[in-house]
Amino acid sequence: MAERIGVLGAGSFGTALSKLLAENGHNVVVWSIEPDVVEGINRDHRNPTYLTQVQLPKGLVATGDIAAALDGAAVVVSVVPSHVTRETIDRARPHLPAQAIVVNATKGIEQGSLKTMAEVFEELLPADQHSRLAHLSGPTFALELARRQPSAVTVAARDEATAQTVQRLISTDYFRAYTTTDVLGVELGGSVKNVIAIAAGCADGLGFGNNTRAALITRGLYEISKLAMKLGANPLTMAGLAGVGDLVLTCSSSLSRNRTVGFELAQGRQLKLVLKSLGQVAEGVLTAKAVHELAVREQVEMPISQAVYQMLFEDKDPKDAVYELMGRSLKSEVGDLSQSVGTRG
């Protein structure tokens, strides 16, 4: 059944999701703060800034008026960067239809509060709307999604029926959604993998090979799992699309903005210049700071994440970081994982 859907954010992934939903027969209005993006989508059926090479459906409408984007929406999808999620949802809140399902597709951890995006949404939205919150994550590059290349994602919601509703809404013959009720695990997997991807990019930029990348991915997954378990998530989630799936994708492809950040740092470029040249948000940079603070707070040892934090915020040389990781004391591969089990969830 066709639904009225409001999408908040017309960046790369917001544009790709809007395209998918419109092509799936839904009435989609996407909101952007950039007037040229709104004009380009409505006039030329192209986003002039993000995914510029992709033709968009003629029925996809853009607006700079957040109230208009949400008016009558049965489903609202938020795809704005994590550092403006609170501001955006607070702005959208008065215009959210009371019975709307709200889908968060942003991966990140809020600075300062160290809250996941799910916690930010639950803090801002009334309690009776929490059962209609869902969170989308998994290994999906926007460009490949926009080109209709087969992809799979996870939809997490505390209410199974909400997850299944979103699953049916977004699934197509090239986009397959699975469901879970482990919101926390999906959120952490989708966030922390961006930090590990920066490390993988550094290794590639230093000229290391497949052995090094495989080690970083595997030990990075171990770090993510330790933190997730300490906070009360289901460790099996880390073996799924929002865990190892997203981690492998982000660490291995030149399409990954976070991997690109690490690669360029290893080539000797300054962080501020790397970020400026990207022209888009690399969530792993701010997430590295939040993960560092979370690891300290929860007393979870995360050496790869710590090394990335030091490279980004303490000017540590990438080569020194790699050799310090290799020179750490020898230990069992999974010896302390069982000690990471927590109660939060």
**Cβ–Cβ < 8 Å for 304, 213:** no
Helices (H), the chain: 12-23, 35-44, 66-70, 85-92, 117-124, 142-146, 160-170, 183-205, 210-231, 246-252, 257-266, 271-278, 283-298, 303-313, 318-326
What's the gap between Cα 96 and its chain centre? Answer: 23
Catalytic annotation present for 331: no
Q: Dihedral of CA 168/191/267/205: which sign?
A: negative
- CB 259 within 8 Å of CB 250: yes
Whether 143 and 51 have beta carbons less than 8 Å apart is answered as yes
Chain length of the chain: 345
SS (H, E, C) 214-227: HHHHHHHHHHHHHH
Q: Find the catalytic residue in 19, 107, 115, 193.
A: 193
Q: Are strands 101-104 and 151-156 parallel, antiparallel or unpaired?
A: unpaired
- Contact present, 93 and 124 (Cβ < 8 Å): yes
Q: Which residue is listed with tokens 């069992």?
A: 332
C-alpha of 47 from chain center = 21
CA distances from 244 to 60, 82, 142, 143 (A): 33, 21, 19, 21
Whose CA is closest to 28, among 53, 63, 65?
Answer: 63
Helix (H, G, I), strand (E, B) or coil at 101: strand
Q: Which residues are catalytic?
A: 193
